[in-house]
Chains A and B, each alone.
Chain A
């Protein structure tokens, strides 16, 4: 009897690959943080010196405080903005609320580094557009806003992260059984009492999990702390790790100790999050029942909610996009004026397209984005088949393994992979391949989420029908499972290719000259003070993202179920 058929090979291969991707970096990070000498140097011994150095540094506690302050500020502000918009769009009769969903998704397509740059260009005390305009209008002596502050950082982060809150809270509002509220109303409770005693407690788990996930995202964030926090001398964990490696000589041990600390914090958060949502949220698309939400008539107040909502979109979408577009067409940075208008030019685009590294960066980013999205979705489709459809022992563990990287902040993954590929005899350090592996590892959790949710919806008999028709496991997977999985596959693919194209925090520790990607190029141009060039590059990046998402949708529709 042939034991090792295609099925066994593919399944075992996928399992080993996941174990390698998720497990090895973790082990190597812990190993690296207890080594005395930098990687590759002889005479290294086991030591706790790195932790001693990290924890007995007074700065450590500033770091911790800053990080927590930043995390709490970010999650609170994103929560307020996102929940307000979700409530307005799901539960009120505010006009144009259908538009909100679309508008809330637009910030998603703007890479974090660009949104950060946009807010510096808007709120910098010296060159910030908003500051200059308000100063002139009100005749102020000094700039009213300073982006180089903790509040500036929190604002720049929150206005970028709120779409996730909007989506999660909209789902929470939508999936709530409104008859529970109606029961309270018929029992004689007032609208306000119903809200505070029924609606709020019912929403509490959803609210807490949303706050928690944004706290983690705040603590893991890199772009805003690096671009705003570093010049403002406000250090958080992620920038500290980055600087420990980017100083000369690099202190890998110290970076490792900080990275482990950050990992412990984020893992705790993810574990609590998992405990609250108990896997239910992961498959929210499947469990979403079609309750008809009870819509509150706001009377004239609906114009107030409309105004506030559009003000948020103006700040989150229109202003940043405008400032990026504007800056990309002018020769030097300045407030829009007739004089500057006349000088508008394509010179920035011309410069970017002729920049020596630009072609490499575009190619690398494109290959990495398409490659990692495709590989992640293929890998996680197989894994999802194992965890959802098979009865293999240990499949729950495999599911958890695939999820491990979600607790790994990008910068921590970067540090871990430095250790892995400087230690293991796999000669890919400094090549595009290490970035590809990093991206696959990092985006695996998103892939498995999309793939499992779709896999659950595929009736087992569709697969069995293929087996009884004489199809092998591989034929069944390719001809039946994958096409039926296409909606989830495409959604996951689009999401991953977008976040891969804007990835910065992991790439920045792993790139070399030849494996530069677009976000790194933007980062370097910014560091070099070439603001208008960065904006031109950013506009091109966004166009590429839109084109990719559009193409993927078209292709996915053709390959998947028609109608």
Chain B
């Protein structure tokens, strides 16, 4: 694929909240580039700085340091004292509460970005009809905003953000106020809408399943810092940071120390309490470094007999096996540790049984044990 240019560039963003003693450092030098036309997600637990970063892009928060540019235009630069106010930035935003103005009808809400720029009435009417068709709300023009359901309000919010054909769409946890079923339906709609319009979109969420389902790229954030950037698949199956592995989905962590390592993505060996295990090392992992192996519960085959000619086999005792319909969720004691293992439902398994777990080296990701250090450049995107 041809190299796409970056629509949004964020460099070394710094932000503090509060004054004096209660000053909190919420963004600690966040830098990232968002390619044109992509659906880019900021993912992290609450308080990680994802919403603050988004609000800095929108101009709703004024950063204390760094630089932001949208479509090649610098909208904030602390050094040059540049600050373009929100209303002059080429953005559209969907808020967590949708922020549908209750004193207006659907059409008035949606038309607002055009009316304040005093566009001709005929043009406004036409574009409102068009954009409402896009979000599937045609015919509801004259309905008062308070008489809309949650899902409809969200569509109105999208229509309002889309109507001015922004360069960047900012979505601040837009699905968190919907019930579970609607959330799943809306998330595929958002993805389709984004594909169709190909507007660069930033999506903020704390829900990892949502992030995996919707994104082209995910930036995982934690404690005001960027942890890791990658495609959903990369981040899930080949995380490079311990935080990413634990935050995205379920995983088992096995502590140890690196014995041998020979460059990236070639099998390496680690000394653990369960013996020497082979694994795929994260970039930059060095010999003798404290590390963990992360392996997902669904990637651990269970054998009743000890398999021959396989690496990384450990012995364990089934503590618990809960039938979930699509799988058994098992807790299996291996030495002092308990590993979570998901097995196929055909594979009946019962507590007290002795089993052998195959920790396939291809599924074992070796990650630095210490996650608090700065981010290695090599981990930020490809």
Contacts and interface: CB of A to CB of B under 8 A. Distances in A.
Contacts of B147: 563
Given A461-B96, A464-B86, A561-B146, A469 B160 contact: yes
Nearest to B90: A470
Contacts of A562: 103, 144
Contact of B112 (A471, A483, A486, A563): A471
Contacts of B98: 461
A471 B116 contact: yes
B113 A464 contact: no
Contact of A483 (B59, B86, B103, B117): B103
A459 B97 contact: yes
Nearest to B95: A461
Given A465-B93, A466-B112, A468-B170, A484 B102 contact: yes
A104 B310 CA distance: 88
Contact of B86 (A467, A479, A484, A561): A467
Given A459-B99, A465-B101, A470 B60 contact: no
Interface string A464-497: 1111111110010001100110100000000000
B91 interface: yes
A106 interface: no
Nearest to B170: A468
A467 B61 CA distance: 12
B166 to A, nearest CB: 9
Nearest to B97: A461
Chain A interface secondary structure, helix, strand, loop or mixed?
Answer: helix
Nearest to A476: B87
Nearest to B160: A469
A170 to B, nearest CB: 28
A560 B146 CA distance: 13
A464 B170 CA distance: 12
A470 B146 contact: no
- Most chain A CB neighbours (cut-off 10 Å) among B85, B91, B102, B144: B102
Given A461-B97, A562-B144, A469 B102 contact: no
Interface residues of B, number: 31
B69 interface: no
B219 interface: no
Given A469-B160, A469-B164, A464 B60 contact: yes
Interface in B78-93: 85-89, 91-93
A468 B91 contact: yes
Contacts of B93: 464-465, 468
Interface residues of A, number: 22
A561 B102 contact: yes
Given A471-B87, A475-B116, A484 B60 contact: no
A44 interface: no
Contacts of B157: 465
- Most chain A CB neighbours (cut-off 10 Å) among B91, B95, B98, B147: B95
B175 interface: no
Interface string B108-148: 00001100110000000000000000000000000010110
A462 interface: yes
A479 B113 CA distance: 12
B229 interface: no
- Most chain B CB neighbours (cut-off 10 Å) among A470, A480, A562: A470
A467 B99 contact: no
Given A459-B97, A461-B97, A467 B60 contact: yes
B144 to A, nearest CB: 6
Interface in A549-563: 560-563
Contacts of B85: 467
Given A469-B160, A471-B87, A475-B116, 19 more contacts: A459-B97, A461-B96, A461-B97, A464-B86, A464-B99, A465-B101, A466-B101, A467-B60, A468-B86, A468-B91, A469-B92, A469-B112, A469-B161, A469-B164, A470-B87, A470-B117, A479-B112, A484-B101, A563-B146
18 contacts: A459-B97, A461-B95, A464-B58, A464-B60, A464-B86, A467-B59, A467-B85, A467-B87, A468-B58, A468-B89, A468-B170, A469-B160, A470-B113, A480-B101, A484-B103, A486-B103, A560-B103, A563-B144
Interface of B: 58-60, 85-89, 91-93, 95-99, 101-103, 112-113, 116-117, 144, 146-147, 157, 160-161, 164, 170
